[in-house]
A = this chain, B = another copy of it.
Amino acid sequence: MSTSLRELLSAVTTLTDVDSRSTPGFEGGKAEAKKAMAALGNELAELQRRLYANGTGGDPRSVLLVLQGMDTSGKGGVIRHAVGLVDPLGLRITSFKKPTTEELEHDFLWRIEKGLPQPGIIGVFDRSHYEDVLISRVRELATPEEIERRYGAINDFEQAYFDGGGTIVKCMLHINSGDQKERLAARLEDPAKYWKYNPADLDERARWDDYQKAYELAIERCSTATAPWFVVPSGRKWYRNLAVATLLLEHLRALDLAWPAADFDVEVEKARLAAS
């Protein structure tokens, strides 16, 4: 996998230009991707441990992985296969469902803020505050003025998280309408997948083009220098998982994480321990 996937996947502006089955930055197929995944797993796990170790010592840094995408795009698969490469103790995963009555009484960012990772932690948002400019736009759950306000509020919010030591990795898992049809059909063929299917999914599917437009707007309005969007072609699951793992790895590498130094006298402690 190319080491500059960050650059490769952040240049997108028009979703329809992106082939969902393309594999930017990666030459091989499924078998090679499996090997590449195993190869990067150790480094990813090691850097996560360093991030965690530093967090326990007062380093404010944390990482937030935001996963967005149409139904069946594979947010759950990414969590299992890419995020699952690191120690679960250092993870905090938050799934954002339809807002509760209490959540609706607050600003849309209220519940999001509560989900931000503590220092040393890799937070994962399975859906996110972007739903408030995606489904809210398509379904007209808020006025156009309010949606407009939200783009700015999101940028401010993400900037504040960044300023506090946060690294944001926003991934839009891109599939096309045909990919989704295939995957929904698979759910209807397999009793072990019925639970993932909801008849209302087809109502959302009927608004495919509106959702694509809403995604394009969100990507355009909320791709900032500190928190760009990455559009991850997700028609091939093995590429999608490898790409997100690679993006995480690239961002962790950029943090230049060393093990924290001892805040005690090592020799003194060795002597104390020996005498214990």
Q: Which of A169-220 contact B (CB under 8 A)?
A: 181, 184-185, 188, 191-192, 194-199, 202, 205-206
Rounded to whole angstroms, the CA-CA distance of A266 and B95 in the bound complex is: 27
Nearest to A208 among chain B residues (CB) is B276
Contact A93:B83 (CB < 8 A) given known A53-B195, A206-B276, A262-B197:
no
* Residue in B76, B188, B192, B205 whose CB lies within 8 Å of A89: B76
Flag the segment in A146-154, A156-164, A246-254, A267-275 that touches B. Answer: A267-275
Copy number in this complex?
2
The reply to whether the CB of A224 lies closer than 8 angstroms to some CB of chain B is: no
A194 partner, pick from B76, B197, B260, beta carbons under 8 A: B260
Complex Cα–Cα for A194 and B266 (A): 9
Q: Give chain B residues whose Cβ lies under 8 Å from the Cβ of A273.
A: 181, 184-185, 188, 202
Partner of A205, one of B191, B192, B276: B276
Q: Does A56 contact B (CB under 8 A)?
A: yes
For the complex formed, measure the closest distance between the CB of A159 and the CB atoms of chain B, giving whole angstroms: 28
For residue A192, which residues in chain B have a CB less than 8 angstroms away from its CB? 259
A165 is an interface residue with CB less than 8 A from chain B: no
CB distance from A97 to the nearest CB of B (A): 10
Check B88–A195 contact: CB distance below 8 A.
Answer: no
Given contacts A88-B93, A273-B181, contact A57 B195 (CB under 8 A): yes
Q: Does A87 contact B (CB under 8 A)?
A: yes
- Indicate if A80 sits at the interface (CB-CB under 8 A): yes
* A199 in contact with B79 (CB, 8 Å): no
Q: At the interface, yes or no: A91 with Cβ under 8 Å from chain B?
A: yes
Give 3 nearest A-B pairs by CB, closest first: A194-B262, A53-B195, A80-B87
